[in-house]
Structure 1
Amino acid sequence: MTIQAHIESLAKKHEDLEDKLHVALSSPSIDDAEILEIKRNKLRLKDQMQKLKSTRH
């Protein structure tokens, strides 16, 4: 897998988590711990993408 393909894969996962977060925030039955976990995962993916982008140049 090329670096660009890996970045795109991570971006898709980040997008999916964004959708999941939106649903979780609009659902009163989701607890704060689950929302926090989604946000942490999004941040982790974003950090990975940034790291890959910086090594690409």
Structure 2
Amino acid sequence: MTEEEEQEIRFELARLRQEHSDLDAAISVMSETGKIDPLRIQRLKKKKLALKDRIAVLEDQLLPDIIA
């Protein structure tokens, strides 16, 4: 992996982590304010989970498993 590719992955990771955090905050606010739309919360949680999976894939690219 080139240094440029690694930098692109790190940038994408930072963006995805921020989006994941934003979704978490939005879900919390919706739950706390009582303005609960169960379908919307479910969709946000599903999107948050997809982001988490994508983050894991990118992290694995940066830190591949080394069999000792």
2:23 corresponds to which residue?
17
Q: Which has the larger radius of gyration?
A: 2
- Report SS of the residue matched to 1:29: coil
1:50 corresponds to which residue?
56
Structure 1: state its 5+ residue gaps: none
Q: What is the TM-score with the length of structure 1 in the denominator?
A: 0.89
Number of equivalenced pairs = 57
More displaced 10-residue stretch of structure 1: 23-32 or 33-42: 23-32
Aligned-residue sequence identity (percent) comes to 28
List structure 1 segments (4+ residues) > 3 angstroms apart after TM superposition: none
Asked which structure has the greater RCO (Cα within 8 Å, sep 6+), the reply is 1
1:46 Cα deviation after fit? 0.5
Structure 2: state its 5+ residue gaps: 1-6, 64-68
Q: CA RMSD in A?
A: 1.2
Q: What is the TM-score with the length of structure 2 in the denominator?
A: 0.76
**Cα distance in structure 2, aligned partners of 1:6 and 1:49:** 9
